[in-house]
Amino acid sequence: MTDELGHLPTDDDDDEVAIVARVPSEPQVLRLRIEADHAGDRIDMAIAELAALSRATVQRLIEEGRVTLGGRVVTKAGQRVRTGAAIEVRIPAPIVIELVAEDIPLVVMYEDSELIVIDKPAGLVVHPAPGHPRGTLVNALLHHCKDLGGIGGELRPGIVHRLDKDTSGSIVAAKTERAHAGLSAQFAAKSRGDTDPNGILREYLGIAVPPPLKERGTLRTFHGRHPTDRKKFSTRVMWGKSAVTHFERVELIADGEAALMRFRLETGRTHQIRVHAADHGWPLLGDQLYGKLPRNTTLPIGSIAATLGRQALHAAVLDFEHPVTGERIHCASPLPADFQAALDGLRSLTRSST
């Protein structure tokens, strides 16, 4: 996944490297007409070619309801178009984001001249965004990595995958163009559902409340924007990208009312594990966006969730092929203290003690 901010280096000194986004300052409205040579094409492909946008960008605009066909909002990126069809694409005005190198402590799991793997703490945002331009992993990497080779001719780390702000654990970033290209290809293959045993392995630990009935299984669903809440994603959609999560119930805890879970991603969709768990009836402990506690429990699980203050999800294992040397890189992140405390607290709960 490539960065979309288009960062430009400035002449600031090494300790305060400011990088400003190269973006247009006004929103754009593109009005397109389908000619015969695009008749029958997918609408995302037709727009990408006619408007000189990336297909991923077009798909995101469709997900956000910013594309209309004949005056109607397009909901399917794979919808076919006919000759003469009128398409309108509304591209919002980006907000210029200034990136500053910041001395934020990092736990480095692996590092060489090509890439770096960080054990990200919960609460650390990965990438700057409007309203949150400082205090992110990118800001920290700009300060930490004195040997950045640059991505796309620009001085910045290459973020090829992300973790939610309140998800802890292993995350990799590229320092050079070739590492970025190689890692991006590996993650793109995983997002397509590639089952190559030599591909990227990502395993997560989580706490589900209540536990799933099955000890292990595989969830295969569509994955798309929630039909009514645009902040959320859902499996309960008529169309979307494929999402595949393998799960295993590692340990029953809280007198059987919760479980420590292991998840292995076969695809990599936004909030995939959280959505799969919640939509199948066993949301993650502390997930304020997708979860809720069972009403019939007599155990103080809610107080443990409140103390944790985030979703109980941790990227425990990241295993991949080094994009330059071909070496297998295996990084295992131990459970952070807050997750371990929640797990210990749930293990101690019994109905007889309440």
- Both 57 and 184 in a single domain? no
> pLDDT, tens digit, for every residue of 191-216?
776 667 778 999 999 999 999 999 99
- Both 53 and 174 in a single domain? no
Residue 196 lies in a domain: no
pLDDT of residue 195: 67
- Both 104 and 223 in a single domain? no
Catalytic entry in 3, 44, 164, 287: 164
Residue 2 lies in a domain: no
> pLDDT, tens digit, for every residue of 235-290?
998 888 899 999 999 999 999 999 999 999 999 899 999 999 999 999 999 999 99
Q: Is 119 designated active site? A: no
Domain boundary among 91, 112, 144: 91
Residue 343 lies in a domain: yes
CATH value at residue 17: 3.30.2350.10
Reported for 184-192, long-range contacts at CB under 8 A and 24+ positions apart, including other chains, are 184/1, 184/2, 184/158, 184/160, 185/323, 186/320, 186/321, 186/323, 187/1, 187/160, 187/161, 187/268, 188/1, 190/265, 190/266, 190/267, 190/268, 191/267, 191/268, 191/269, 192/267
Residue 104 lies in a domain: yes
Domain boundary among 76, 91, 106: 91
pLDDT band at 89 (very low <50, low <70, confident <90, very high): very high
Can you give the residue range of the structural domain that contains 136? 7-22+96-191
pTM value is 0.74
